Amino acid sequence: MSKEARTSLSKAATFQDQNAVHEIFSELRREDPVAWCPELDGGRGFWSVTKYDDIQFVSKNPKLFSSDRVHGGITFETAETRRIRKISRSEGVQDKFKDLNILEAGDSMIQMDPPIHTMHRRMVAPGFSPKKLLNLSPQIRKRCVDILTQISGKGECEFISSVAAELPIQMLAELFGVDQEERTKLLEWSNVIIGGDDPDIRIDTDHTITALTEMYQYAINVHQKRREEPGDDLISMLANTEVEGKLMSMNDYVSAFILLIVAGNETTRNSISGGVLALSQHPEERQKLLDDPSIINNAVDEIIRWVHPVIYMARTALEDIKLGDKNIKKGDRLILWYMSGNRDEDKWDDPFSFNVTRNGPRHLSFGYGQHLCIGWRLAEIQLTVCIEELLKRFPDFEVKGEVKWMQSNFLNSIKHMDVHYSG
């Protein structure tokens, strides 16, 4: 494989053509499953890990492969992340942060290793317990029905803003215990954080500063309210749970707040929109669901495997180690390509076919090991309910026109998709 093809994996624009990217990954799985890839913009380069078993091995060994921000964290450093960091460290923003009693960016559990990661995860784990999710399920269905009622009779809608983004952001507001009117701000801040590599979403420096300071101020205000009047919501858990006898620092709290904003809606939004696209493109698979609704759990697993809402996560080697036939050096960066692992020919028969009755190993889309997405079950429930209710009301839904993808090599996110339907 050419150096240019390997280098292109560090570019967000490369992932606008997913068929071409899958060709690169298929060749790497076949010829060089742990492949050294140069990086653009003077980056140090990275190992592309493309096979299912290798991704699992790295994911479940945090003593060998770190997620910690001090070692490099879980994403590429792009020109946009450098821009955001430069803005957040600028004198004007730092002055505003000091007024908010924030000295510097803290850590969130996604960029921690055990045992600290484990303690922080336990803070919010009750918010995703089986009992909590069981109690939330009727509310999820009611909100979904209300959302779909809003588009009923129109014959068409822009699906992302009308449905795919709306359901998870409403549920995030519910989990935060904040008014539903505030969900638009949560969504706006999420887009600022994750959309900077896309020229249609990226905002200028002044607007970025305004958005960041608004978000930080909002997070601190909610924190103060939950300290005074705690509830059973996620913010109350972060504000009042002690780790080793101490409350979470304000810096770490703000970082955890940001993580929940992004993780709480992005993976679900991407799964819903990608699932509707897949079912529209494969009407024979949609018909299987219409004929036998009991296979919905298989279908949801297949949708998440197929869509890979998160494309990769990164790790840093903490010691010299051999992976496959490659010698990984301490300090080397490894990119775990979930997008590739979910198409591993050694794990699934005909992995490039979309099959709602498929049986096989669990997909990698929500991660693996200690960093398995804490909200994975909530995302599955929302996707399940949304597909069930869509098929009840609009069984002939069809994606029309151009599907516009967000420019990113981290999140597999549709930003615009028109859907037509009867009813």
Q: Are strands 333-337 and 46-49 parallel, antiparallel or unpaired?
A: parallel
User: How far apart (Å, rounded) are the C-alpha atoms in residues 118 and 135?
Assistant: 25
Band (77; pLDDT cuts 50, 70, 90): low
Residues 112-124 have pLDDT tens digits of 999 989 988 988 8
Lowest mean pLDDT among 48-62, 110-124, 221-235, 350-364: 110-124
Domains defined for the chain, CATH in brackets: 3-420 (1.10.630.10)
pLDDT digits (tens, 9 = 90+) for 300-313: 999 999 999 999 99
Quote the distance between the C-alpha of residue 244 and its chain's center: 29
Identify the pLDDT of residue 1.
72
Give the per-residue pLDDT at 82. Answer: 56
Q: Express each pLDDT in 158-203 by its tens digit.
A: 999 999 999 999 999 999 999 999 999 998 888 877 766 666 666 6
Phi first, then psi, for residue 415 (nearest 5°) are -105, -15
The 10s digit of each residue's pLDDT in 6-36 is 888 888 888 989 999 999 999 999 999 999 9
DSSP code of 244? T
CA dist 236 and 227 (Å) reads 7
Mean pLDDT of the chain: 89
CB distance 202 to 195 below 8 Å: yes
User: How confident is the model over 235-239, as a mean pLDDT?
Assistant: 93
Tens-digit pLDDT profile for residues 98-154: 665 554 556 788 999 999 899 889 888 888 999 999 999 999 999 999 999 999 999
DSSP label at 112? -
Report d(CA 75, CA 12) in Å as an integer: 12
Within 8 A by CB and 6+ apart from 271, the residues are 303, 304, 307, 309, 365, 379, 383
CA distance 31 to 219: 48
pLDDT digits (tens, 9 = 90+) for 256-294: 998 899 888 888 999 999 999 999 999 999 999 999 999
pLDDT at residue 227, rounded to an integer: 95
pLDDT of res. 95: 62
The DSSP secondary structure of 245-297, one letter per residue, reads: TEEPPHHHHHHHHHHHHHHTTHHHHHHHHHHHHHHHH-HHHHHHHHH-GGGHH
Q: What is the pLDDT of residue 339?
A: 97
